[in-house]
Structure 1
Amino acid sequence: MNQFLSSILLLMFATNSFSQNAVSLVPKTPSKAPDYFCTWNIQGYVCNFKSTAGNRQEMTENNMFGNGEYQNWVTFFPKIREDLIFVMDDSWDIPIAEISKDGPTFGLTELNQERFPSYTGNPAERLTKLVDAVKAKGWKGLGGWICAQEAPVVGNVNSEEYWTKRLKDANEAGFAYWKVDWGKQSRNLEWRKTMTKLGRTYAPNLVIEHAFNGTPLEFSDTYRTYDVENVIAQPVTIQRISELLKYKPQGQAKGIINCEDEPYIAAGLGCAIGIMRYPFADNIPNGATDYVFPAAGRNIKHRLDEVTRAVRWHRIAEPFGVGSDIYSVDTAILKDYWVLGERETWNKAHKPGDTLRENAPARVSRGLPLAKVLNPSPNQPFVLSSLYPNGAVAIATIGRGINREYITQRIKVEQEIQNIDNPIGIFGDYDTLTLILPKKIKASEYEVLGQDLASDKASVITKGILFKENKIIISGEIIRKIGLAEASKNDISDPGLVLKFNRKNK
């Protein structure tokens, strides 16, 4: 009888364990966040970054859908493709032979038939067919780079009529994103504001992204923090975000910051992501160093898992606009510097041997008090934290570029939060992370689930979490074990995981 009961209990335990482990903390439903993959850098890669004009010539149907060695871009990011908009960069709408940015068709915003010969019909019909083809490959939608001007080739036109026509075409086609960049009107706030207003009228589902000067954030759906040199990108991006948090959206503006290809910064500060990296690792086709994503420092092209983790975090907690939360920017500044080697930047103004210096606040938070670093040092990471509108919390440590080394120092971090009712995202590396609550909490009342955000399966990790009065202490070992559980071969991304504290039934 005892053996029988023992067998039954063992079977029940095994079944319960399997059931718990089969649960996913990451929803299956794709994110609604305006995250995207942008083609500009992969355009440069396939032409060996020979010139800006060369980049432009690579934005073609063949490269997007072809079967060549460096083609078929629509097959990138299979695990998160349904969460991402595929954004065609400069230039999908001009003739291939037009290489100067002063050319007459920049700003035309009509799918070029020479570049995309399979997609026929009038402008709206051509675009519709391409949207359908991209979505058939699993992407959430299709978007495009927009030159901030009316194309000179059409002559003297009424600006509002010009953009109304193109917005109607975009709406008819189901086009998802306009990345409005440089052009004759790029710094004309009224022009950008009018485009946004027209977009809300004639293409209400189209996300219109702006850039330059910060002020457009007040009327934008999304605002891009803009280009960076990747060996020193993190402090630049953190500094730019900290300067943008002061803005207040007007009217229907969403005011979401897009921090480009910094996924863990995006998670830590509630931003959208504009992916620029790609899965062609190491050197460019001619054998030279990829100077946009050099192996020196972070070696970003070997950090694709962090993209997956941050994008999937947006299934749990969507990026949110400025002006809706209390924010804090540390007065303490961390100073990064990078001594350039050969082919480590796309910026021709910087030469090998130059020292790039960038500073940023040591800590930034949105909706939460600044995190505390218990063992500060000159090389400590940046610490970012946010309370999302749905109650989820994200905490991220961001490494440092010092001299010619990328440093991810493990530190002891404390973060005050109000409760543990909602998911908690943890990004980066730690010695320990301590969550401090307003009142005491008992371990016996909770089951703790943890999951690599790149995984589809959670684990019960209650025994690995220390409850001590009003503190919950998570060791760096647990963060690495869970947050790297689904790590891809040769990927060097820092951990990224989600925790869920489930209250036990009494």
Structure 2
Amino acid sequence: MLEAGRRRKEQSLKMNRREFLGAAAAISLTGRAVSPFSIPGQTSSTGRNLIPQRLSTAPNYWCTWAVQNYRFGEGKQAIDVTRLEGDSGAGLAHDAMNGEALFGAQGWAKTFHSRTRNELYLLLDDGWEAEGTATFKLDHAKFPSFRGPNEERLRSLNREAQRLGWRGAALWCRNTPGGSRDLALEDECSKAGISYWKIDIGDPEFNLLRVRNKERIPLTLEHVYGEPPTNGNWRLDGRFGPQGWDSRRMEILRHTDVYRTYDVTSILSLPTTLDRVNELLRSAAGHSEIHSLLNVEDEVYVAAVLGCTMGVMRHPLIGLRPGDDPDLFFNGPRKTKRRMDEVVRAQRWQRIAAPFAAGVGSFEASDEILTDGWKFASGETWQHGLVGSTVWQSAPAVIARNMALPEVTAIDGEKPFVFAARFPNGAVAVGVHERTHPGRGWYLPRCRVTVHVDDASGPFGIFGEFDRLTLDFDRPVQNRRLLAQDLAGEKSVDITAPAEISRTSVSFGGQLLREVGLHNRSAGDLSSPGLVLVLM
């Protein structure tokens, strides 16, 4: 037992202590009352808000691409789903972008993500530009209300996004021109107040970064390696594969601000994304010269727990298409479009524990690999070659940044995906995520999880559903008071009494975590729990 504890301690010390063990995130405390939970005697009210009021500065955004792809066929009697696939579907999405769709009376910018938009960029994807994919000319025909020279139109676009409560506008582009033209485009955007570019392939020599750095232009650049929507041999196990230091992906990771893990199928998004993150972090960990952040697109709980950024794409539009309402971006048993609260919880956790660079600290992954699968029907993927096939995607059962791997005990034989991280400010997060299998859909294997937090100061973020969760410390905690709060809420409760506290550990039953983590859920929302815990 002592030897196991020593090994865990050595793992946590792999980071540079001065870089990693800063002060715990600031916690805003108020004195307001809170209504009691529905289980009498289990919790008591405190009213203290454990979530800082200051907004996150993480470069997160909501991207319009998925909702653009949902526009064609609205209100029709029938729809040919094959038109939604491949280049045809991309063309329809391109055409769907315009000022009315974005800023009209029921526009996306006016109606989506009202609780988080002040911390998200409003990112316009393909279709906003005229005359190409990297002209940065706002299309006159699509955005007629923005007038004047192009710089002024871009400035008006950004101001309108901010007027509606967004952090600002961000822009998609592909295959930037290079040379001196890059400077002109960056300078024009900077003067217009645009500070984020989503670069979807192109810039092979990283000229944009060099120009930006030389001229000190306040612009965050996101790069990608263009992936298919599945990893590896999807007929077998679908592994992403090791990434050597000299691989093109690692080269991109070393030369950008944000590396987006790129496109995935909706139904198998989780294992596909997790394995990409696994291999990229495995190669980057401990290389302090890598300052870039990983963007895991719409896997918002993965982003929250593992210190990554979000390229949120989910939206709440449901039932606008005929038949079974096909949506190639959000479909299947997960019902992601009814999980909007997860964005709120993930974003608010990042006020407490900000995303951190891929090269910071250590990384561990279990030898145990979990494999998920799905037989894709027409209308479930834009990749026509997957339709009718059973696709498999795999990732490690457990991964962890800057800490020992959590211990996971399966109750019924199967395990969920489990991931955890210790943040540079002393916060710790842990998450469990569901599995996907043909015939079973989206389901959560029951499990007990022990997280060795050692000397971490917290706060602690807990995402997903556990049968039991134990936090194992290297110091006495039996006289500490425990406050917890739904990350979608404003007030905490005291859960000292219902928690099980021993000398150096705190344990929680699944029902308690669910009660707290969903206490402020929106009506009809299917999101998994997400809560913050502090030891007073």
Q: TM-score range with shorter-chain normalisation?
A: 0.7 to 0.9
Aligned twin of 1:176: 195
After superposition, the C-alpha distances for 1:275-326 in whole angstroms (9 at most, x for unaligned) are: 1110112x34344533324552211111111111111111111111111111
Task: Please tell me the residue identity of whatever aligns with 1:458.
Answer: S
Aligned twin of 1:244: 280
TM-aligned CA deviation for residue 204 of structure 1: 3.5
**Contact 1:219/1:252, CA 8 A, preserved across alignment:** no
Aligned to 1:94, the other structure's residue is in SS state: coil
Distance 1:66 1:477, change over 3 A: same
Instruction: Out of 479-488 and 417-426, give the one that drifted further.
Output: 417-426
Aligned twin of 1:304: 340
Task: Please tell me the residue identity of whatever aligns with 2:420.
Answer: S
Equivalent positions of 1:103-252 (< 5 A) are 105-150=132-177, 159-182=178-201, 185=202, 188=204, 190=205, 193-202=206-215, 204-212=217-225, 213-215=248-250, 216-245=252-281, 246-247=283-284
Aligned to 1:79, the other structure's residue is in SS state: coil
Matched, 1:254 2:291: yes
TM-aligned CA deviation for residue 492 of structure 1: 1.2
After superposition, the C-alpha distances for 1:219-272 in whole angstroms (9 at most, x for unaligned) are: 211000000001111000000001111127989863100000001111221110
After superposition, the C-alpha distances for 1:179-229 in whole angstroms (9 at most, x for unaligned) are: 0013xx36x2x1xx2211212344633210000042211121100000000
Distance 1:250 1:171, change over 3 A: farther
TM-aligned CA deviation for residue 149 of structure 1: 3.1
Aligned to 1:145, the other structure's residue is in SS state: strand
Aligned twin of 2:419: 384
**Contact 1:199/1:208, CA 8 A, preserved across alignment:** no
Distance 1:453 1:16, change over 3 A: closer
Aligned to 1:208, the other structure's residue is in SS state: strand
**Contact 1:91/1:145, CA 8 A, preserved across alignment:** no
Aligned to 2:372, the other structure's residue is in SS state: strand
| Structure-2 separation of matches of 1:61 and 1:17 | 42
Equivalent in 447, 457, 460 of residue 481 of structure 2: 447
After superposition, the C-alpha distances for 1:463-506 in whole angstroms (9 at most, x for unaligned) are: 1211112111011111100000011112111110000111xxxx
Aligned twin of 2:235: none
Aligned to 2:279, the other structure's residue is in SS state: helix
Equivalent in 60, 64, 67 of residue 39 of structure 1: 64
Task: Please tell me the residue identity of whatever aligns with 1:257.
Answer: L
Task: Please tell me the residue identity of whatever aligns with 2:95.
Answer: Q
| Structure-2 separation of matches of 1:17 and 1:76 | 28
After superposition, the C-alpha distances for 1:152-197 in whole angstroms (9 at most, x for unaligned) are: xxxxxxx321010010111111112100013xx36x2x1xx22112
Distance 1:125 1:399, change over 3 A: same
Task: Please tell me the residue identity of whatever aligns with 2:437.
Answer: I
Aligned to 1:384, the other structure's residue is in SS state: strand
Aligned twin of 2:103: 65
Aligned to 2:179, the other structure's residue is in SS state: helix
Matched, 1:272 2:309: yes
After superposition, the CA RMSD in angstroms is 2.2
Instruction: Out of 17-26 and 396-405, give the one that drifted further.
Output: 17-26
TM-aligned CA deviation for residue 273 of structure 1: 0.7
Aligned twin of 1:101: none
| Structure-1 separation of matches of 2:196 and 2:45 | 39
Aligned twin of 2:38: none
| Structure-2 separation of matches of 1:256 and 1:175 | 20
**Normalising by the residue count of structure 2, what TM-score does the alignment of the two structures yield?**
0.82
**Contact 2:410/2:445, CA 8 A, preserved across alignment:** no
| Structure-2 separation of matches of 1:174 and 1:234 | 34
| Structure-2 separation of matches of 1:321 and 1:21 | 35
User: How many residues were matched structurally?
Assistant: 460
| Structure-1 separation of matches of 2:153 and 2:339 | 36
Task: Please tell me the residue identity of whatever aligns with 2:457.
Answer: D
**Which has the greater radius of gyration?**
1
Equivalent in 391, 395, 398 of residue 430 of structure 2: 395
Aligned to 1:297, the other structure's residue is in SS state: coil
Task: Please tell me the residue identity of whatever aligns with 2:292.
Answer: G
| Structure-2 separation of matches of 1:37 and 1:209 | 14
Aligned twin of 1:432: 468
Matched, 1:323 2:359: yes
**Contact 2:454/2:473, CA 8 A, preserved across alignment:** yes
Aligned to 1:139, the other structure's residue is in SS state: coil
Aligned to 2:91, the other structure's residue is in SS state: helix
Distance 1:214 1:148, change over 3 A: same
Aligned twin of 2:496: 462
Aligned to 2:489, the other structure's residue is in SS state: coil
Aligned twin of 1:368: 403
Equivalent in 383, 386, 392 of residue 350 of structure 1: 386
Equivalent positions of 1:79-90 (< 5 A) are 79-90=115-126
Aligned to 2:410, the other structure's residue is in SS state: coil
Aligned twin of 1:28: 53
After superposition, the C-alpha distances for 1:3-33 in whole angstroms (9 at most, x for unaligned) are: xxxxxxxxxxx99888963221111221101
After superposition, the C-alpha distances for 1:418-474 in whole angstroms (9 at most, x for unaligned) are: 2353210000110111011113322xx322111110111111111121111211101
**Contact 2:175/2:200, CA 8 A, preserved across alignment:** yes
After superposition, the C-alpha distances for 1:45-84 in whole angstroms (9 at most, x for unaligned) are: 112446211110122111111125xx34343101111110
**Contact 2:63/2:125, CA 8 A, preserved across alignment:** yes
Aligned to 2:399, the other structure's residue is in SS state: strand
Aligned to 1:417, the other structure's residue is in SS state: strand
Structure 2 gaps, min length 5:
1-30, 36-43, 74-83, 226-247
Q: Which protein has greater RCO, CA pairs closer than 8 Å, 6+ apart?
A: 2
**Contact 2:266/2:381, CA 8 A, preserved across alignment:** yes
| Structure-2 separation of matches of 1:15 and 1:335 | 47
Aligned twin of 2:524: 490
